[in-house]
Amino acid sequence: MTGSSQPSREMTARDQTDAAESVFELESTLESVDLAEQIAVRAAAEAGLDDDQQYEIGMAVRESVINAVVHGNRYNRNKKVRLTVRMRPGELVVRVADEGEGFDPSQVPDPLASENLLSQSGRGLLLIRAFTDEFTVRRLVPQGTEVVLVKRVREPSPPRSEEAEREG
């Protein structure tokens, strides 16, 4: 990890809804992409998500930060990517905000359309949607885009029946 990719962690707090939130300010570099993925996977593990879910939210965060660094901030070293990780009972909420000019997800070509299947790029949003339970995009004022990713803890195995409880 290079010095420039070291994020500044602004706070770790626990609010009245029993949610722990951490905010990281990342440079607009490729190193930040790996770092954000690692942060998300670690938080997902702490939140109780299983291995597959940790991988999935890690991938979704990775792709979101790629979009923020490459398309949003365009590697501009004066612009930052803000990563907010919020753990609530049963779910992990990750927000990725850039300082770019914004984008309209509905204008992104459908990577599943036959004419786009052999495109070299354009699959990031598809992977983010596939690997999250909720995905929203909003414009920031005065500028920038924030995506919100929600990953919920998978339901545990069905509870034991009353009979099994008695036997147990």
Partner 1 sequence: MSLELSCRKVGDVAVVDLTGRITLGEEASKFREAIRVLVAQGERKLLLNLAQVSYLDSSGLGELVSAYTTLRSQGGELKLLHLGRRIRDILQITKLCTVFEVYEDEAEAVRSFYTR
Classify 120 in phi/psi space as left (phi over 0), alpha (psi -120 to 50) or beta.
Answer: alpha
Question: Could you tell me if 34 and 2 are in contact, meaning their C-beta atoms sit under 8 angstroms apart?
Answer: no
Least distance from C-beta 133 to partner 1, angstroms? 15
CA distance 96 to 124: 14
- Among 21, 27, 63, 98, the residue binding partner 1 under the rule CB under 8 A is 63
Q: Is there binding between residue 112 and partner 1 (CB under 8 A)?
A: yes
What's the token pair of residue 38? Answer: 């690692």
Q: Is there binding between residue 33 and partner 1 (CB under 8 A)?
A: yes
* Pick 120 or 157: Cβ nearer partner 1: 120
Least distance from C-beta 135 to partner 1, angstroms? 14
Q: Is there binding between residue 11 and partner 1 (CB under 8 A)?
A: no
CA distance 136 to 127: 14
Q: Is there binding between residue 123 and partner 1 (CB under 8 A)?
A: yes
Q: Is there binding between residue 55 and partner 1 (CB under 8 A)?
A: yes
CA angle 54, 41, 65 (to 5 degrees): 110
- Among 104, 107, 115, 118, the residue binding partner 1 under the rule CB under 8 A is 118
